[in-house]
Structure 1
């Protein structure tokens, strides 16, 4: 048995019309993985390369305000990235934003399978279970995945966006969400920025696209939610925006 669960489940019996996800909620390294130490200094484990700064707190606050269930990871994305398909070459990163991850340099197929079995697959199984619960009640849930991004990669220009909405070919939720976000005069909104949402094998593709569920991945710049005050401000700001976007999506269905 792994030393810790692979996921955190909040509001499991909440409103099934939407499901909140947080793929990169934690920077924890389980004891089974190199004794709980990837060989990185503490300052690197506190950076965006290890987890999405502020995303867990923001997700928990949104779940509390909106009453939706939420599934959050409990392990660092550097252990194994749950927002990547099992065959993705970046599933276990060996280098990220200028930092080499020593404990990942020699990871082979056996260790990869062990990490998939202990962390990656249980997280996705928990998401499937919540979707199955909703569908058993006759509800096709919308999936909302909460992430954060760094303001600037090393040696690259600053990123101008405050919030990005990532999506694939299904615009049911992303399009009204971006329309409403753009009504906020002080925000710069990215459409598939700072990353693209069209990534086969990622979490939204696996649970949203492949199941025909409306979905959107929301990226908030991490300096805006780096502390509890920022998380609270943005939960208060995003909660009514998400409610309006979901209502508009359903009205257009």
Structure 2
């Protein structure tokens, strides 16, 4: 059993779930980091896995917090990210989906997620998932009211090897219908460089599993893209800075 209090999951010393960088950014781009953080609420500590596991790909998208910050500066864009680990709740999943709070992730058993009651799940949704998506929706509504077009860019990273299989792509571009003209322009721009192994809906595809882009872009017909960068290519500040420069150029040209 993982009984959680009926009040908010987050205590006074826990960070708020949503981080907004450059809220006054003038760019058409809205940068999103669903898995940018790996914090765990104090109430759920210890989470039942090692510190080494908590810095692996299962807990967050390595490198994305810094990449989002750099891009926010370079593009004068707003970056909205989520501070808590995807193991606590995955903000790029429908909150009702079983894998929004997985019991196992890439072979690692998560004791704090075993046998969650509906009240447990509801508490995590209310404390983390709902405020994060409310912040995105509020920013989009503010821009819509001002007559500003917004292109939503979801930034993700992926592990170089999954279940023993190496992944050759350096960056993937995810798209899945709706208004995917911008995503296809980004894909074309990255491919045309000739110096990158680019995945077209690889290593993941924009499908029914994703939540953020379909929720905030599809229905409104917004242009969007979801990018996935291989995590061994985001291992240093210099590498991240290089990707920020590259993506600034590609995104601007695609726009």
TM range, smaller chain: over 0.9
Q: Provide, for residues 44-63 of structure 1, a one-character-per-residue CA deviation record: whole Å limited to 9, x for no partner.
A: 11100000000111111000
User: TM-score when scaled to structure 1?
Assistant: 0.93
Residue 16 of structure 1: CA displacement?
4.8
Instruction: Find out whether 1:152 has 2:161 as its counterpart.
Output: yes
- 8 Å Cα contact 1:16-1:134 kept in structure 2: no
Aligned CA RMSD, in angstroms, stands at 1.2
Residue 154 of structure 1: CA displacement?
3.1
2:49 partner SS: coil
| Aligned partner (choices 100, 106, 130) of residue 97 of structure 1 | 106
State the partner residue of 2:35. Answer: 24
| Aligned partner (choices 220, 226, 247) of residue 238 of structure 1 | 247
* Partner Cα separation in structure 1 for residue 181 and residue 86 of structure 2: 29
Q: Which runs of 5+ in 1 are unaligned?
A: 247-253
State the partner residue of 1:196. Answer: 205
State the partner residue of 1:142. Answer: 151
2:161 partner SS: coil
* Partner Cα separation in structure 2 for residue 62 and residue 39 of structure 1: 34
1:56 partner SS: helix
1:213 partner SS: coil
* Partner Cα separation in structure 2 for residue 148 and residue 218 of structure 1: 8
Q: Provide, for residues 136-190 of structure 1, a one-character-per-residue CA deviation record: whole Å limited to 9, x for no partner.
A: 11012010000000000133x2001000011110321111111100012220111
User: TM-score when scaled to structure 2?
Assistant: 0.92
| Aligned partner (choices 117, 120, 138) of residue 129 of structure 2 | 120
* Partner Cα separation in structure 2 for residue 95 and residue 189 of structure 1: 29
State the partner residue of 1:165. Answer: 173
* Partner Cα separation in structure 1 for residue 33 and residue 253 of structure 2: 21
* Partner Cα separation in structure 2 for residue 63 and residue 83 of structure 1: 21
* Partner Cα separation in structure 2 for residue 91 and residue 116 of structure 1: 9
- 8 Å Cα contact 2:17-2:83 kept in structure 1: yes
Change (3 A) 1:140 1:212: same
Residue 13 of structure 1: CA displacement?
1.3
Q: Which one is further off, 44-53 or 170-179?
A: 170-179
Instruction: Find out whether 1:8 has 2:16 as its counterpart.
Output: no
Change (3 A) 1:185 1:243: same
State the partner residue of 1:63. Answer: 72
